[in-house]
Amino acid sequence: MAIRDLGQPRLAKGRWLRIQALLIGLAAPVIAHSDMNLAADSAAAPNDYLATYLAEALSSNSALQAQAFAVEAAAQGLSAARARRAPQLALNARYTVAEGGRVTRIPTGDLVNPVYRTLNQLTAGTPNATNFPEIGNNDISFLRPHEQDTRLTLSAPLYAPQLAEQVQIRAAEFEGSLATREAFARTLVRDLKQAYYQLAQLQAGIGVLEASQATLAENRRVADSLIAAGKATRGSALRAEAELLAVELRLLAARNDERAARRYLNLLRNRDEAEAVLVSSTALSVSGVAGDEATRPELRRLDHQIDAAEHARKLAGSGFLPTLSLVADSGIQGTGYTVNRDSDVSTASLVLNWTLFDFGARRAAESQARAQTSQLQATRDDVRRQLVLAKLSADDSALTAEQALRTAEARIAAAEEGFRIAERKRDAGQLSQIEFLDAERAQTEARLGLAIARSSLQSARAEQEYSRAAYPLPATLASGATP
């Protein structure tokens, strides 16, 4: 009796400390991080952390920015294709310095000199005698020593069906790049949500393990007291120490995993890996799938690729048709840059180009484009079936996660009640150390299992949302109309 009277006040105090440790451990994932970052994020509501991180990722993720540049490149390609249908004005200037080259000899001397000599002989000794000199032959060079040709050239396609098909191809490529960017953005949303829920699970698990650590530390103290009072052997203290060390090891691993999860989430946000991440107290609350189901961007991308391939086939077929264009020049020519009537030059031409025979090259190009269209259509059918299966799988996973959560909630209720009974029996000296540790371990595993079940359900809901393309993306990231 004396021993029990001495031990009861300490045991009652220890029970209160354990209760405090449990409460602190469960609240630690929220309190520790909220206090650390309260000044920096005082303007943000606690439940808006995930929305804030999603907005940051969608605006600054490096890989998503690369997709935005791809969209810009496709848009510029479309603008260039459209511009080729309009008239073009170009300045062409050429200044030439020449030496050598072909020379044509004109036998002027050979033709005229005999006549001159005859006239000189006939008139010799007369009052009107002539004295015609002999002249040499003339060498005419085809290249001028100095020559310039400067003109403005206006060219305009009058009939060019190939240009219209090229515009349609670039428009389809642009729409496809928009769908590709949207698909990447939806993948980013899913990955960030699942990373956030994983981080919330790890932080909740750390809180559970810290509470278990406090309980086991108190249990070791009680065991030491019982040994000192002669009510227990040293084996119970060693078992309590072993259990405490095992939980501390799990706690160390959980903290390492939590840091890795935080670094990955910061990577998706394009933030420094050491930046703190806030997790709201409702992070693992059950939520439904938001938004209406929409067509997956992967299918829209394939639709645009099929459209581009069809226009490529038409482009190959338009090679059998002629093209007609207008070309007009106006400028100056001569040995120098002098502007006068003699140097002015102007031309206007209608240019017809019609390939009549090419050994089947155009026909082969058309057949190739037709085969590519068929290939893309078959690929789209396969991708559509895969996406349907993925959606059904996501639904099954969410249903399984919901059932697992209900099981985990029932399990933790039983484990916590079992632990309370075990704790009272131990305090009364009616329970062995092994039985108490088993009850404490069952409670810890049940709490960890509940956090895992909630995180798994939230991740499954994120996968459901992704499979339905239901997340409301900003208008700047959703597929839009061709500009």
For residue range 378-429, what is the model confidence (pLDDT) as tens digits? 999 999 999 999 999 999 999 999 999 999 999 989 999 998 988 888 777 7
Question: Is 409 in contact with 451 (CB distance < 8 Å)?
Answer: no
Taking 70 as the pLDDT cut, the residues of the chain under it are: 1-47, 231-233, 286-291, 479-483
Whole-angstrom distance, CA of residue 310 vs CA of residue 370: 7
Predicted TM-score (pTM) of the model is 0.75
* 3-state percent breakdown (helix, strand, coil) of the chain, nearest 5: 65, 10, 25
pLDDT of residue 144: 79
CA distances from 250 to 212, 416, 444 (A): 11, 20, 12
Which residues are CB-contacts of 8 (< 8 A; sequence separation ≥ 6)? none
* Pair of tokens at residue 21: 């440790």
393-397: long-range contacts (C-beta < 8 A, 24 or more apart)? 394/460, 394/463, 394/464, 394/466, 394/467, 395/464, 397/460, 397/463
Q: Would you kindly state where each structural domain of the chain is located, as residue ranges? A: 2-89+159-323+358-467, 102-142
pLDDT of residue 431: 75
How many CB atoms are located within 10 Å of the residue 347 CB? 11
Torsions phi, psi of 450, nearest 5?
-65, -45
Give me the sign of the Cα torsion angle 230, 231, 234, 240: negative
Instruction: Give the CATH number of domain 2-89+159-323+358-467.
Output: 1.20.1600.10
**411 membership: H or E segment, kind and range:** helix 361-427
Q: Which residue is it, tokens 């002999």?
A: 134
CA distances from 225 to 22, 218, 219, 232 (A): 22, 11, 10, 9
pLDDT of residue 32: 37
Whole-angstrom distance, CA of residue 251 vs CA of residue 206: 6
pLDDT of residue 120: 83
* Pair of tokens at residue 444: 């810890």
Cα dihedral 466→469→475→478 (10° resolution): 100
Which residues are CB-contacts of 466 (< 8 A; sequence separation ≥ 6)? 186, 187, 189, 190, 394
DSSP state letter for 351: E
Torsions phi, psi of 249, nearest 5?
-65, -45
pLDDT of residue 42: 35
Whole-angstrom distance, CA of residue 119 vs CA of residue 114: 9
